Amino acid sequence: MKKPLLGLYALITLALLGWGYYQAIYVAPNDAMQGEIFRIIYYHVPSFAVAFFSFAVSLAGSICFLAFRGSHANRAQIADAWALAGAEIGVVFCTVGLTTGPLWGRRAWGMWWTWDARLTTTLVLWLIYVSYLLLRRFAAGPQMQTLAAVLGIFGAIDVPIVYMANRWWRTQHPAPVFGGGDGSGMAPSMVGALMWNMLAWFAWGVLIMTLRYNAERQSQKAAECDAQEALRA
């Protein structure tokens, strides 16, 4: 993305985040049962939605890296940069979800954490991608990117398990708000606030993922230059 375009996109994103906050605090009503604490949903749910999207980008990048690594070196490097950016942004948003969740749980359930299927699979997902990032940070040698791509693909298997956990098993975590069958759903006065925040956090996620991708490409090009200079010397 060109610099002025990126700046304009960043401004629109900040405006959306401000609008989303306004919707969440001043427009959406308090929940009849939970009161103000329910408003955490406007940050908690979009965070996980963006995390899942980011892990999907990482999955696509990992698959493309494995597909191209033998034939198209440049495409493989681009795919690898997207895989890393997706995993890192996914971990950031998953961390947000895993910290806002216990704050909500403490008030709604009277406890910070419980080892139910939804929470446990989410923690496992976070740990898998943290290990992916640690692998990329500390492993050395030409096989590092391949190993990371394989781990990224295996890690992504946990995403549908997390999503389905409160459908497959009985959990402390509430049933799905959307697509959860009879009795699920949200008051129309709250849907707007959730959708605005969903849009705003997606825009923010795409922005920081693009910045991370650019940083990684820059780092790859610098490493390539160093390698060529070493060969010449």
Of 1, 101, 94, 85, nearest in space to 50 by CA: 94
Q: Which of 6, 34, 113, 172 binds other proteins (CB under 8 A)?
A: 34
Is 66 or 101 the residue whose CB approaches other proteins more closely? 101
Angle at the Cα of 51 (from 49 to 53), degrees rounded to 5? 70
* CB 46, min distance to other proteins, A: 10
Question: Whole-angstrom Cα distance, residue 121 to residue 161?
Answer: 7
SS3 233: coil
Q: Work out whether 27 is an interface residue with other proteins (CB under 8 A).
A: no
Q: Which of 13, 23, 28, 44 binds other proteins (CB under 8 A)?
A: 44
Of 74, 54, 52, nearest in space to 64 by CA: 74
Q: Work out whether 51 is an interface residue with other proteins (CB under 8 A).
A: no
Residues 130-159 that bind other proteins (CB under 8 A): none
Residues forming a β-bridge with 31: 35
Q: Work out whether 118 is an interface residue with other proteins (CB under 8 A).
A: no
Is 21 or 202 the residue whose CB approaches other proteins more closely? 21
Of 128, 130, 133, nearest in space to 159 by CA: 128
Q: Do 47 and 100 touch, CB atoms closer than 8 A?
A: yes
Q: Work out whether 119 is an interface residue with other proteins (CB under 8 A).
A: no
Question: Whole-angstrom Cα distance, residue 200 to residue 116?
Answer: 30
Q: Work out whether 99 is an interface residue with other proteins (CB under 8 A).
A: yes
Give the N- to C-terminal CA distance of the chain in Å, as an integer: 35
The footprint of other proteins on this chain (CB under 8 A) covers a number of residues equal to 29
Q: Work out whether 92 is an interface residue with other proteins (CB under 8 A).
A: yes
**Count of Cβ atoms closer than 10 Å to residue 215 Cβ:** 14
Q: Work out whether 37 is an interface residue with other proteins (CB under 8 A).
A: yes
* CB 112, min distance to other proteins, A: 10
**Cα dihedral 96, 99, 101, 107 in deg (nearest 10):** -140
Question: Whole-angstrom Cα distance, residue 211 to residue 191?
Answer: 30
Q: Work out whether 43 is an interface residue with other proteins (CB under 8 A).
A: yes
Q: Which of 157, 218, 225, 226 binds other proteins (CB under 8 A)?
A: 218
Is 40 or 149 the residue whose CB approaches other proteins more closely? 40
Q: Work out whether 36 is an interface residue with other proteins (CB under 8 A).
A: yes
Is 34 or 171 the residue whose CB approaches other proteins more closely? 34
- Binding residues vs other proteins (CB under 8 A): 21, 34-37, 39-40, 43-44, 47, 92, 95-96, 99-100, 103-104, 106-107, 110, 204, 208, 211-212, 214-215, 218-219, 222
